[in-house]
Amino acid sequence: EVQLVQSGAEVKKPGESLKISCKGSGYSFTSYWIGWVRQMPGKGLEWMGIIYPGDSDTRYSPSFQGQVTISADKSISTAYLQWSSLKASDTAMYYCARPSGRGVMDDAFDIWGQGTMVTVSS
Amino acid sequence: DIVMTQSPDSLAVSLGERATINCKSSQSVLYSSNNKNYLAWYQQKPGQPPKLLIYWASTRESGVPDRFSGSGSGTDFTLTISSLQAEDVAVYYCQQYYSTPPDFGQGTRLEIK
C-alpha cells in the first residue's frame, strides 16, 4: 500500500526550532516529488513547497521562501519540514502529499499524509 | 501566481439534489501542447486530509463515485455532485497545477439543507 506517514503533534514555544517528518512507503521514494501544504485552523489549503528526493531539487512558494526549509533523506525514505524560529502564526496542520505522476512535479496530489498539528504558544 | 477563486463560499443542498461548485483561475490552465487542463478537485471532511476527486479537470480518481463530475476548460471549471448524499458533506477545493506555486481555491463548504 502506498502511504505517507507523518510524525506526531508538536507543542512548541515561540522562538523554538522544529523539524517534522513524512515517511513514504509502498513506492519508489526517490522517483516522486513530495510537497508540503499548510492549513491554519479553520482555513484553507496553502501550498508551501516541494522536493524531489532523488536529487533534493526543491521549490518554494514565494509566501514561504525563507520561512521554512524542506529537505529529504532518501536513505530512510523521509521528507522533512523545518523551522529555525517558530512564531505563533505557524500554528497549523501541516500535510505532506505526493503528486501522482512519477518524476512529475506539476500534477495533482493523489497521496496525502495524515497531517501533523503544530501548536506554537507561550 | 495564478489565483484560484471558488464560488460560492458555502452551499446548502437537499439530499438527492444537484450541487454545483465553480472555480475560476486568473489565467488559463490549459496546456496547449497536450490539450490538458491542469486542474484538480479535492474533498476534505472534518479531521481528515484532503482526498483527490478529479484531475485533468474531468477525470475521476479511481474509487470516486460517479455522481461526482468535473467540467470546464481554460479558466472556468465546475464540480458537480449529481445527487447529494449525506456523506458528501465536506469542504471542496480546486487546485491548479499548471504553474508553481500550484495554489488552491479558498474552499467551498457544502452542507445539507
- Express the helix, strand and coil content of chain B in percent, nearest 5 each: 5, 50, 45
| CB of A44 less than 8 A from some CB of B | yes
**Residues on chain A touching B38 (C-beta within 8 angstroms):** 106
Mean pLDDT over B18-43 rounds to 97
List C-alpha distances in Å: B78 to A68, B8, B40, B67.
34, 11, 11, 13
| CB of A27 less than 8 A from some CB of B | no
Which residue in the set A47, A63, A110 is minimally distant from B102, CB to CB? A47
**Beta-carbon separation of A108 and B97 below 8 A:** yes
Share of residues in chain B with pLDDT > 70 (%): 100
**Beta-carbon separation of B93 and A44 below 8 A:** yes
Mean pLDDT over B8-35 rounds to 97
Which residue in the set A44, A47, A114 is minimally distant from B49, CB to CB? A114
The per-residue pLDDT string of chain A (122 residues; one tens digit each, 9 = 90 and over) reads 999 999 999 999 999 999 999 999 999 999 999 999 999 999 999 999 999 999 999 999 999 999 999 999 999 999 999 999 999 999 999 999 999 988 888 899 999 999 999 999 99
**Residues on chain B touching A115 (C-beta within 8 angstroms):** 49
**Torsional class of A88: left (φ above 0), alpha (ψ -120 to 50), beta (otherwise):** alpha
Question: If we measure between CA atoms, which residue out of B1, B13, B7, B37 comes closest to residue B105?
Answer: B7
How does the average pLDDT of chain B come out, rounded? 97
Mean pLDDT over B94-112 rounds to 97
pLDDT of residue A103: 85
pLDDT of residue A34: 98
A vs B, Cβ pairs < 8 A, gives: 63
SS3 category, A90: helix
B61: closest chain A residue by CA: A110
SS3 category, A116: strand
Q: Where are the beta strands (DSSP E) in A26-108?
A: 34-39, 45-52, 57-60, 69-73, 78-83, 92-99
